[in-house]
Chains A and B, each alone.
Chain A
């Protein structure tokens, strides 16, 4: 099931043709490679703009990452955990 989180994470990011793309992130001491970015959307609150990414990990695990363009910080918003354990 999806787990709602708000965990700070470190993300290795690449910028290509003016677009940013997360490549891998560190969460709970593990490094999760991003196999595929399946979608993205933006959210604004006041003057802050948040860039959201839906991504897939190596084992069909699924995450939603959020980049705060103002503070240049990443957070993990949601993770889909495989039955019986962590993703």
Chain B
């Protein structure tokens, strides 16, 4: 039965090529546009650390003075050096890391390469185990290295390819800002999206090329990158940031046991009160402890333009579907005579309905294939855009399957009304008018 209907559908579609082509093109355009945008949205709303993200938290505390105070306001989105160091020393979470962004002048020993600036992450040791970073060669540094302000560095695979043509470079010396660093690790391919651990660097920017202990970067006065907010007598130059009333560091905590999250929040509360008693904090304790995914929501990392474009594409798909309903209705009703004969020869309404739906499904499949092609073109266009998420716009298997399913389901849905309408034909009337 199935293959017979399929055959009938193909014959019928061939009979009226223009109308068929119009329907397929409309479905393909609608599906192509929608799936392009949904894929982009899918990529951008993804989890940067699947399986791990629920154990990662971003503590927020409010160290500011009473100027500009408003009760219930969100605490700053970064921490001061003093608070970061205090939280780090307390070690109340399973793992914790304090970090900030920067840029370092890299001076390759190879004469063929000019010195260049590289983005850098200055962080404490537990960054690597906490974020499960893959290592191609070597490993990260230890808390002892942090303490000793060791001249050690971890570089990305990309930089390793550029400087050492992909060979194991651990143990080699890398000169940066006239200082010799020992390479102790090379990261494997790692590009968490969004760049969740520091959203000031561009929400979807790639991973920094150079990682080194935070203490080392401060010791050498390496240039900082990112956002800083100061209050009161804040506003110091970079060399004196440790004592400034400015927030400029990110602090992350890993809490494996969900039952301990409330305990950590209490600790933050307690810490704020203690600092207030000491006179460092002035505002009433105001702490938050968003999880990684909550933190991304708070920061509205998904560009509103992308959401708007997705709505637009879905609206376009709706128009395309209405268009297809109309065309299919025209096509089915035009065949009233043929359908009348089938009915008169004993085909049940159900059978005719099934036959017509099969025809819709075939259009849906063809439209889906076209849509898939257009989605690939669309994503290629998105990748050529200047935005920092552009290079991420790739189709994965899930979206590929979703595209085809969406096309067939939506076309079947569009075929329901015309097929039902065509089934209402009274066979006798149709036969008479022949």
A binds B: no
Chain B residues packing against A (C-beta within 8 Å): none
